[in-house]
Structures are given as C-alpha cells and as structure tokens.
C-alpha cells in the first residue's frame, strides 16, 4: 500500500489530539507525519506510535512534500495557510468554517456524499462540516433517500468539547469550585457552564439565529444536495464534557413509520440504533463518548404531523463530529483519487 506524508495543523488542540489517536487506531498509511501548531506550542513533544514527535511552528514553508494536510487550527489560520498548503501540492481537509459554503469547495460527510470528494481538484481543499451538522445528517441520509425530507426542526445539546480544550477544563474547574464553595471562574465561555445551560453557540446574526444555527441550515442543504430542505435550529451549550445530543423532528413527503425508520437507519453506515423504551435504553453522551457512530433512539411518529418523525441523536463531537470525519475523507481520497 502506498504511504503518504501527512501534516496535522493544530496538533496540540482538542481535535488535533484526537486526530492523532484516530490516525494510529485506523492504521492510516503514513510515510511521514508532521505536527504543526502556533509558536506557543512549537518544540512540544507528543508521543505517537512509540515515537516522540516534535511540534513545529506553522509557517509558509511547512507544506513542502506534504500529500494531505489535516487542518484544525481555526478559521483565520485556515484562511491564511490552507491556500498555501494547497498551492504546495497538498490536499487540505479543513475542519473550520472558512471554506464550507464556497461553491467550488466540496463539503463532505463520507456516509452521505462521498462522490463530492472528487471536486477537491478545483482548489485542493475539502471542507469538513460543522460537528452538529455531521452528527445529524448521517442518520437522516437514509430517511431522506426513502421519503424525501421537507423540513427539519433541531435543538442541540452541545458539550463543552465543541468550544475546545479550555472550555472542557473550565467546566471541570467550575464543578470543583462549586463543591468547595468557591466563586466560579468564567473565561472560556460567556457564562458559567457548570449546572447551567447557555442558549447561544457562536454569535448572533441579523435574523436572530446564531452562526452555529445557520451552519446547520446551510450545510445540511449543501451536503444533502437539496436546497429545498427547510431547516430551523436552536443550539444550546450544556454542562457535558464530550458528545453532542440533538432532538430532531423531520417532515417527509412520503410517510416513514417508526418501524421503517429503524430498519433504514439500522442498515445505514455510521449509524447505531439504540431504541428500547421499555428497558430505558437510548443514546446518552456518557455512553457514546469515545465511539465513532451516530447513535439514534427515542424514535417515534410525530403526533402533530401526519408525515413527521422525531428522534434523539448523540455523537462524539471530537470524533465523528470533527477528527474522524476528516480522516474518513482522507481515506476515501487516497482510495479513490490520489
């Protein structure tokens, strides 16, 4: 098997660290692995498959002889350095929102629209979708293929992992401060997150939806290849360390019964149905964290809509919602195109 030179940009961040775990777990065909980060992290040693790799400072010369560059360093860094990497000959798989809605950049979830990966040749860039969008569209794809989704109403319960390592550390610190009767420190998130919910993820737009909510609207349509799907979203940060949960209700052109939905999703790649209400079995973040599938339960026909279906979806934001999806894109890329 051919091996590839891979760079991980943002290797010391929460998603970057999980990327390294998954590259090792899935035995990605690596020839050389380069770890890149800001000057603050340059020189740091990170263990990888029995070796200690040194983190290098990200600069304009970082991508010589790199075949695939996995970016997880934020939108500003991606806007600056992804085109540089692409011009140097690397195929960039970018985890930020910088390129997602650009018409000539494919936005890919391999279980949903793998053929769009071929469009990378336009600019040598492939966009990795938003975590909440990925976790939702994987289970919805087989339902859309069968019954054509007309409308999606989604409310998210997003773990602090989505806000990065500092937010995860802050939740841990706030719980300890609460237990010890101390005043809580707030810095990574706009409000105390321990024992609280924050009904805002990202900044508000002119229509009073947040950017996170509009990502779910626009990205779902692009990934599904269907601009007619109506989507409304409410995104909420919750005091959970890892794994996002979503309450999703869809309306379809063709009625989908509960039994048919279970059949369709049970046979879909990347989906695991856990739906046994009699025995209180349904997906929960505490069970799903560290796994790769999108878990679905609480499946029921919507009593307020003749052709409606409601469900509960949980997925690990750091894995399928970010790092795993990017590496799955890379796997299809090397198998089909490189």
Q: How many CB atoms lie within 10 A of CB 199?
A: 10
- HSE of 75 in the Cβ direction (CA atoms, 13 Å)? 7
* Greatest extent of the chain over all pairs of C-alpha atoms, in Å: 60
Tell me the two tokens of residue 66.
Answer: 């790199």
Annotation marks residue 131 as catalytic:
yes
| Active-site position among 103, 144, 244, 305 | 244
Half-sphere exposure of 214 (CA within 13 A, CB side): 13
CB 285 within 8 A of CB 177: no
CB 126 within 8 A of CB 94: yes
Tokens found for residue 163? 């806000």
34 forms beta bridges with: 7
Contact 261, 271 (CB under 8 A): no
Of residues 103, 131, 144, 305, which has the active-site annotation?
131
The H-assigned helical ranges of 109-255 are 131-147, 165-179, 211-224
Active site amino acids: 131, 244
């Amino acid at each position: 098997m051919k091996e590839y030179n891979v760079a991980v940009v943002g290797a010391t961040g929460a998603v970057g660290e999980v990327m390294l775990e998954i590259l090792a777990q899935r035995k990605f065909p690596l020839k050389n692995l380069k770890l890149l980060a800001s000057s603050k992290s340059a020189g740091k040693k990170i263990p990888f498959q029995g070796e200690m790799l040194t983190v290098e400072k990200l600069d304009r010369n970082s991508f010589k002889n790199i075949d695939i560059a996995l970016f997880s360093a934020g939108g500003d860094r991606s806007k600056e350095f992804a085109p540089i990497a692409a011009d140097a000959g690397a195929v960039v798989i970018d985890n930020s929102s910088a390129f997602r809605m650009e018409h000539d950049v494919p936005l890919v979830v391999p279980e949903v629209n793998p053929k769009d990966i071929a469009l990378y040749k336009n600019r040598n860039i492939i966009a990795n979708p938003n975590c909440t969008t990925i976790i939702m569209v994987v289970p919805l794809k087989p339902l859309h293929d069968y019954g054509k989704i007309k409308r999606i109403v989604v409310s998210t319960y997003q773990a602090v992992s989505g806000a990065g390592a500092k937010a995860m550390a802050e939740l841990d610190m706030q719980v300890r401060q609460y237990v010890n009767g101390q005043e809580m420190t707030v810095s990574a998130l706009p409000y105390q997150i321990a024992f609280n919910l924050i009904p805002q993820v990202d900044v508000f737009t002119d229509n009073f939806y947040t950017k996170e909510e509009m990502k779910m609207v626009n990205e779902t349509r692009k990934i599904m290849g269907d601009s007619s799907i109506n989507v409304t979203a409410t995104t909420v940060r919750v005091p959970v360390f890892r794994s996002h949960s979503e309450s999703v209700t869809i309306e379809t052109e063709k009625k989908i019964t509960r039994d048919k939905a279970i059949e369709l999703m049970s046979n879909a790649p990347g989906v695991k149905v856990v739906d046994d209400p009699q025995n209180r079995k349904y997906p929960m973040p505490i069970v799903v964290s560290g796994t790769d599938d999108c878990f679905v339960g609480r499946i029921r026909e919507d009593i307020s809509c003749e052709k409606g279906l409601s469900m509960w979806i949980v997925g690990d934001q750091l894995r399928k919602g970010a790092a795993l999806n990017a590496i799955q894109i890379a796997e299809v890329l090397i198998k089909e195109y490189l």
